[in-house]
């Protein structure tokens, strides 16, 4: 939470994820060994992924989606709120936005803005239910958001049948595809790659910057972090914690609404049964990995996406089930949580020692000198 540049602190911060990745590497290798799968070939295949332009595009695109999800979770985390419901929030948001977007016909930038606004508003309201339940009835947001996920699934299934059209060439159903004015073109960011990067990546970068500014530079952000650090101290300092809970849930939900946007606006153009699900849970893992830090989350999202993408060729090239990647992701998250806690404790102890040391070696204060001469 401190602002100054301090190389020792940065090194310590990087130590935890580095340890976690090494640990995950070892565990995964042991699993491969136990299953009798080729260890060296597997790692070679996974590493090769990073040198293929097409794969890089895929990684960046998934990471963009993960980034929003993790950011939404992180807003809650910074206040000790566990928004497990990002999943239901974004799906309900993107479904409604896809449907509304297919009904209207307005000029391009406005059309996209309306879609994004609808998604954010619906997701925010859905998350807000959990916030209101918490402050008025004391319902744990963990329980209510999980339940709201189920309700969202049911509602989407129900309403999709009402508004859906068959997706051509399959037995899938989805909302009417968005007209051209509601689509966002991609960017050719990766040289030699046949795939374009979602245009929405720009919004991801802006969201990261906005998150950082909001939390670190504003009064609201200070109140939010103070509540996360110590609710009792926040109350004594004049923070209206109930209000903060509702606002944070709304904010977290609004960001969750962005999760489905890159895919909807840049690739799928409609909400169908095949629309990516479960991204909210990935967000929880990535927020943990990135320590709720906007840059940390970006790195975490890229790493996660990398592992996801590298799972595909494993089956084909070396005959190893792609689930090995899921195991690795799981081990990374578990060990990173442990490592962060160890580093955190070490840092507090280290700082106390450093303060004690610097104080004893410092020259006496005027008062001490006075006492000594008295």
The residues that touch another protein, with contacts defined as CB under 8 A, are 1-4, 6, 216-223, 225-226, 229-230, 232-233, 235-240, 348, 351-362, 365, 367, 371, 374
Expressed in angstroms, the distance from the first to the final Cα of the chain is 42
8 Å CB contact between 283 and 66: yes
Q: Which CB, 241 or 299, lies closer to another protein?
A: 241
CB of 19 to another protein, least distance (A): 21
DSSP 312: H
Smaller CB separation from another protein, 34 or 362: 362
Which of 48, 351 has the CB closer to another protein? 351
Burial 34-47 (b: 16+ CB within 10 A, else e): eeebebeebbebbe
The C-alpha torsion from 191 through 193 and 195 to 200, rounded to 10°, is: -30
The torsion angles phi and psi of 165, rounded to 5 degrees, stand at -125, 155
CA 141 – CA 118 distance, rounded (Å): 23
Q: Token digits for 287?
A: 């927020």
Handedness of CA 27, 28, 31, 33 (dihedral sign): negative
Q: How far is the CB of 289 from another protein (least distance, A)?
A: 20
Quote the least distance from Cβ 136 to another protein, whole Å: 16
**Closer to another protein by Cβ: residue 137 or 219:** 219
C-alpha 262/C-alpha 199 separation (Å) is: 7
Question: Is the CB of 44 or the CB of 353 nearer to another protein?
Answer: 353
In angstroms, what is the minimal distance from the CB of 344 to another protein?
A: 8
* Cβ-based nearer residue to another protein, 326 or 365: 365
Residue 26 and residue 33: Cα distance in Å, rounded? 10
Interior angle at CA 48, CA 338 and CA 56, nearest 5: 80
Q: Nearer to another protein by C-beta: 18 or 356?
A: 356
Minimum distance between the CB of residue 337 and another protein, rounded to whole angstroms? 17
């Amino acid at each position: 939470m401190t602002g100054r540049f301090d190389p020792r602190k940065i090194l310590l911060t990087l130590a935890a994820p580095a340890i976690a990745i090494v640990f995950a590497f070892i565990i995964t290798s042991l699993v491969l060994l136990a299953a009798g799968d080729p260890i060296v070939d597997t790692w070679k295949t996974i590493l090769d992924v990073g040198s293929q332009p097409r794969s890089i595009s895929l990684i960046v695109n998934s990471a963009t989606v993960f980034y929003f999800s993790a950011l939404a979770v992180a807003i809650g985390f910074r206040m000790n709120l566990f928004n497990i419901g990002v999943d239901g929030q974004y799906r309900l948001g993107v479904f409604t936005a896809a449907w509304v977007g297919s009904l209207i016909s307005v000029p391009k930038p406005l059309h996209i803005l309306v879609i994004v606004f609808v998604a954010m508003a619906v997701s925010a309201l859905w998350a807000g239910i959990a916030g209101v339940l918490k402050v008025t009835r004391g319902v744990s947001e963990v329980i209510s958001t999980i339940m709201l996920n189920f309700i969202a699934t049911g509602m989407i299934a129900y309403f999709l049948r009402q508004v859906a059209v068959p997706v051509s060439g399959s037995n899938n159903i989805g909302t009417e595809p968005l007209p051209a004015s509601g689509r966002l073109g991609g960017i050719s960011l990766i040289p030699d790659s046949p795939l374009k990067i979602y245009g929405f990546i720009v919004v991801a970068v802006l969201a990261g910057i906005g998150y950082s500014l909001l939390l670190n530079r504003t009064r609201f952000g200070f109140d939010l972090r103070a509540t996360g650090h110590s609710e009792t101290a926040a109350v004594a300092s004049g923070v209206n914690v109930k209000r903060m809970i509702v606002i944070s849930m709304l904010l977290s939900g609004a960001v969750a609404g962005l999760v489905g946007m890159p895919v909807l606006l840049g690739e799928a153009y409609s909400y169908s049964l095949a629309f990516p699900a479960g991204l909210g849970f990935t967000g929880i893992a990535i927020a943990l990995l990135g320590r709720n830090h906007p840059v940390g989350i970006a790195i975490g999202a890229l790493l996660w996406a990398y592992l996801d993408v590298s799972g595909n060729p494993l089956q084909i090239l070396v005959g190893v089930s792609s689930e090995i990647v899921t195991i690795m992701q799981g081990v990374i998250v578990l060990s990173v949580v442990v490592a962060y806690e160890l580093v955190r404790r070490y840092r507090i102890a280290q700082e106390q020692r450093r303060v004690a040391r610097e104080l004893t070696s410092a020259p006496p204060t005027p008062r001490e000198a006075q006492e000594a001469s008295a």
